[in-house]
Structure 1
Amino acid sequence: MTPIDRLTARAVPLPAANMDTDQIFPARYMSRPRSGGFADLAFRDHRFTADGATKPDFVLNQPAYAGARILVAGKNFACGSAREQAVHALLDYGFRAVIAESLGDIFASSAPENGLLAVAVGPEAAQAIQQRLAAEPGLALTVDLERRSIEVPGLGMIAFAISERRREMLMHGLDPLSQLLLMEPRIAAYEAAHDTAMPD
């Protein structure tokens, strides 16, 4: 996975509450293989009509947000089913970070394991960021994993919490297996120091 430590990029506001994983990646596409890419399926029913025409009113279809790599979402973003394809769809679309008022628990766990930074900042901070993005469409934010902060022009720095494990995964581009393999010397040292043999 591609490491991420500091990202400065255009941000797109998506303030709707309870945007579930089926809205991010509709269930009818579950059979599509990952190798085919999911960029065109991200928020499919919000972005396109049934016959494939673009919906110009949806925020991701507006020119001001073209190339956005940071998604600023509302309350309980990516709730619902344990659908890892939702994470893949966001990544394939081009997002590297999701900032939300709150996140679905399963999504919050699977996002960093696939290289997507997903953090909750609470209602007041989330609303303030949404207001700045509405006032200045196309505004760029800076997400800094080293400092655990988001820099918002006009608002200053907003701190976020992230576990050290998830932070290391993202900063070093590690998936769970890669992270475990890095611990192999420590595991071997522990086993050498302790008698782990089963009794006869």
Structure 2
Amino acid sequence: MTPIVRLTAIAVPLPTANMDTDQIFPARYMSRSRSGGFGDLAFRDHRFAADGALRSDFVLNQAVYEGAQVLVAGKNFACGSAREQAVHALLDYGFRAVIAVSLGDIFASSAPENGLLAVAVGSEAAAAIQQRLAVAPGLALSIDLDQRRIEVPGLAPVLFAISERHREMLMRGLDPLSQLLQMEPRIAAFEAAHDTAMPG
């Protein structure tokens, strides 16, 4: 996975509350293999009409947000079913980070394990960022994972919390297995210092 230490990119405002995983990745596509990519399925029913035409009123279809890598979401983003495809769809679309008022618990755990930074900043901080983006469409913000800080032009820095395990994964580009393999010398040392034989 590509490491994230400091990300500066266009941010897309999507303040809708309770945007669940089925809206991010519709269930009818669950049987599709990821080998072809899920980018075209991200927010599929919001981005496209029934006849396949782009919905001009949906924020991601506006030209000013082309190439955006940060999604600034509302309350309870990615709630609902445990659907890792929702994380993959966001990544395949091009997002590297999600900032939200709050996050679905399972999504918050699976996102960093797949290389997507997902952080909750609370309602006041999120509202301030959303308002800043509303008056300056296409604005780029910066996320400093080392300092655990979001920098938005015109606003005071916003601090966020992230577990040390997830922070290390993202900064080093590790998935859960590769992170475990980093501990191999410690595991070997532990086993060497202890009797690991099964009782007879």
Query: TM-score scaled to structure 1, two decimals?
Result: 0.99
Show the counterpart of 1:117: 117
- Gapped regions of structure 1 (runs ≥ 5): none
Query: Matches of 1:37 and 1:199 in 2, distance apart?
Result: 49
Rounded to whole Å, the distance in 1 between the matches of 2:63 and 2:34 is 28
**Structural mapping, 1:97-108, within 5 Å:** 97-108=97-108
Instruction: Give the % identical residues.
Output: 83
Mapped to 2, the partners of 1:172 and 1:17 lie a distance apart of: 32
How far apart are residue 78 of structure 1 and its match? 0.2
Shift of 1:198: 2.1
Q: Which residue of 2 aligns with 1:33?
A: 33
Q: Deviations over 1:19-69 (max 9, x none)?
A: 000000000111110001011100000000011000000000011111110
Output aligned runs, 1:52-131, within 5 Å. 52-131=52-131
Query: 1:149 maps to what in 2?
Result: 149
**Aligned residue pair count:** 200
Corresponding letter in the other structure for 1:51: D
CA shift for structure 1 position 194: 1.4
Deviations 1:65-118 (A, max 9, x none): 111100000000000000000000000000000000000000000000100000
Distance 2:133 2:197 in 1: 60
Which whole-Å CA distance do the structure 1 matches of 2:27 and 2:156 have between them? 39
Look up the equivalent residue of 1:173 and give its one-letter code.
G
Aligned to 1:134: 134
Moved over 4 A (4+): none
Letter of the structure 2 residue corresponding to residue 169 of structure 1: M
Q: Does 1:171 align with 2:171?
A: yes
Corresponding letter in the other structure for 2:102:
S
Q: Which residue number corresponds to residue 187 of structure 2? A: 187
Amino acid at match of 2:161: A
Alpha-carbon distance between aligned partners in 2 of 1:76 and 1:108, rounded to the nearest angstrom = 10
Q: CA separation in 2, counterparts of 1:93 and 1:199?
A: 53
